[in-house]
A and B are shown apart, each in its own frame.
Chain A
């Protein structure tokens, strides 16, 4: 069964600290993996996109890693800011026919001053 699991479910950190969010998937065949940021009550916005041949991708203070052998990805946030408070969703693209996105349930991050 194609699934995406994220951990932790929620996380609270202090402003300026770093954090790492985890994503494990069982999607096959796999095309690429994305991390989205979703502010409360808004639609998700793409942060990073990685194909199976890429190990790491950065977007400012966000760095995503991918291990296609173990089917694990992580999103590292450096020097967190209050505006980083949001849900972070791991999405794996199932490469079968049309572009079917398999969504994780997300990690809800709260950055406190």
Chain B
């Protein structure tokens, strides 16, 4: 069966520090991968999606970047965090061409 992992579960970082959140998927090959951010009281906002290694599409301009160094690994990064980067970050995967997305447990980021 397929599983999706995210770490860390929670993170507290100072403004201006770098960020690296990791997401890995097991039990499937060539998945579509997604990064979402969920702000309190708001719907999930798609940040990045990837249909293959090295292929990243950005949905909204922001202080973040994403990379996919391996087929089942998706990394969300920032060189300098802003206060507005605080939120709940969710990674998701789907089979290529299939619309059902499966979400990871999420990372709660607090920027102080």
Distance, CA A101 to CA B63, complexed state (A): 22
Distance, CA A99 to CA B67, complexed state (A): 20
Q: Which residues of chain B are within 8 angstroms of A101 by Cβ–Cβ distance?
A: 44, 46, 101
Q: Which residues of chain B are within 8 angstroms of A98 by Cβ–Cβ distance?
A: 32, 49, 51
Interface size on A, residues (CB 8 A): 22
Interface size on B, residues (CB 8 A): 23
Q: Which residues of chain B are within 8 angstroms of A4 by Cβ–Cβ distance?
A: 43
Does B44 lie within 8 Å of A103, measured CB to CB? yes
Q: Does A81 contact B (CB under 8 A)?
A: no
Distance, CA A20 to CA B20, complexed state (A): 40
Main secondary structure of the interface of B (DSSP, over half): strand
Which of A32, A43, A104 is B104 in contact with, Cβ under 8 Å?
Answer: A43
Q: Does B90 contact A (CB under 8 A)?
A: yes
Distance, CA A93 to CA B104, complexed state (A): 19
Main secondary structure of the interface of A (DSSP, over half): strand
Query: In angstroms, how far is the closest chain A Cβ from the Cβ of B41?
Result: 6
With A4-B43, A98-B51 known as contacts, the answer to whether A43 contacts B90 (CB < 8 A) is yes
Interface positions of A (Cβ within 8 A of B): 4, 9, 31-32, 41-46, 49, 89, 93, 98-106
Q: Would you give 24 A-B contacts (Cβ < 8 Å), ordered by A? A: A4-B43, A32-B99, A41-B88, A41-B108, A42-B106, A43-B90, A43-B92, A43-B104, A43-B105, A43-B106, A44-B44, A44-B103, A89-B44, A93-B99, A98-B32, A98-B51, A100-B46, A101-B44, A101-B46, A102-B43, A103-B43, A103-B44, A105-B42, A106-B43
